[in-house]
């Protein structure tokens, strides 16, 4: 699971404006990083441009998912992640980032802002913190713990069943042993009674 990009944009009437963006392209070749960042910016702007206000959507592009959230006030966010990254966590991140951004950056700066003029340093921190959705999102963490508990419980039940089968084998063997012991006891008693001197 990997997050590659987290962007905040403004959906204007004429065009979409990139306000701030954070990228994690460290897993890519050094020479491809700037091109990939440009392509992510272009894709983010295009997706916001084609999305209606007040909507959330996920767009699949090859091995990547682009999650977009455009608020009614024209503020938008885009997360680009791999296919394994949970959509619910991506939209939770977008909602959190857009709420924080709208409180920290004046609304009058949105239509004319740019990454150089907008001051919102928390974006990089959110991108790195949400790389591991289990740690960042409480619901995902609880789900992972439930899955672990289910696996442990399943293994415990299997071992109990195996133990139960082994106990059944022992019980059946002890019943056989009991019959053989009784026969041995009877034979031994007969032998002893013949040899007893009175």
> What is the pLDDT at residue 176?
66
Rounded average pLDDT over 145-164: 64
Instruction: Tell me the per-residue pLDDT of 176-190, one tens digit each, with 9 for 90 and over.
Output: 666 776 577 667 667
Rounded average pLDDT over 121-147: 74
Q: In the chain, where are the structural domains located?
A: 3-161
The 3 state secondary structure assigned to the chain is CCEEEEEEEEECCCCEEEEEEEECCCCCCHHHHHHHHHHHHHHHHHHHHCCCCCEEEEEEECCEEEEEEECCCCEEEEEEEECCCCHHHHHHHHHHHHHHHHHHCCHHHCCCCCCCCCCCCHHHHHHHHCCCHHHHCHHHHHHHHHHHHHHHHHHHHHHHHHHHHHHHHHHHHHHHHHHHHHHHHHHHHHHHHHHCCC
- Over pLDDT 90: what percentage of the chain? 9
Q: pTM of the entire structure?
A: 0.66
Of residues 146 and 89, the one with the higher pLDDT is 89
Tell me the C-alpha distance between 53 and 76, whole Å: 9
- Over pLDDT 70: what percentage of the chain? 70
Instruction: Tell me the per-residue pLDDT of 5-19, one tens digit each, with 9 for 90 and over.
Output: 899 999 888 888 889
Per-residue pLDDT at 22 exceeds 80: yes
What confidence tier does 129 reach under pLDDT thresholds 50, 70, 90? confident
> What is the pLDDT at residue 140?
61
Q: What is the mean pLDDT of the chain?
A: 79
* Domain 3-161 grouped into CATH 3.50.50.60: no
Tell me the C-alpha distance between 13 and 104, whole Å: 23
Per-residue pLDDT at 80 exceeds 60: yes
């Amino acid at each position: 699971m990997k997050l590659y990009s987290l962007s905040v944009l403004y959906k204007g009437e004429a065009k979409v404006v990139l306000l701030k963006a954070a990228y994690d392209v460290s897993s890519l070749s050094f020479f491809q990083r700037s091109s990939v960042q440009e392509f992510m910016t272009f894709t983010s702007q295009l997706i916001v441009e084609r999305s209606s206000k007040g909507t959330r959507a996920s767009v699949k592009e090859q091995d990547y998912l682009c999650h977009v959230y455009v608020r009614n006030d024209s503020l938008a966010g885009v997360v680009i992640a791999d296919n394994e990254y949970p959509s619910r966590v991506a939209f939770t991140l977008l909602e959190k980032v857009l709420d924080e951004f709208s409180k920290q950056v004046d609304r009058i700066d949105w239509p004319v802002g740019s990454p150089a003029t907008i001051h919102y340093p928390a974006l990089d921190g959110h991108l790195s913190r949400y790389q591991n959705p289990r740690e960042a999102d409480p619901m995902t963490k609880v789900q992972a713990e439930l899955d672990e508990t289910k696996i442990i419980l399943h293994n415990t039940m299997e071992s109990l069943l195996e133990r139960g089968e082994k106990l059944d084998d022992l019980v059946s063997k002890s019943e056989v042993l009991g019959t053989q012991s009784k026969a041995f006891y009877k034979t031994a008693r007969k032998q002893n009674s013949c040899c007893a001197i009175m």
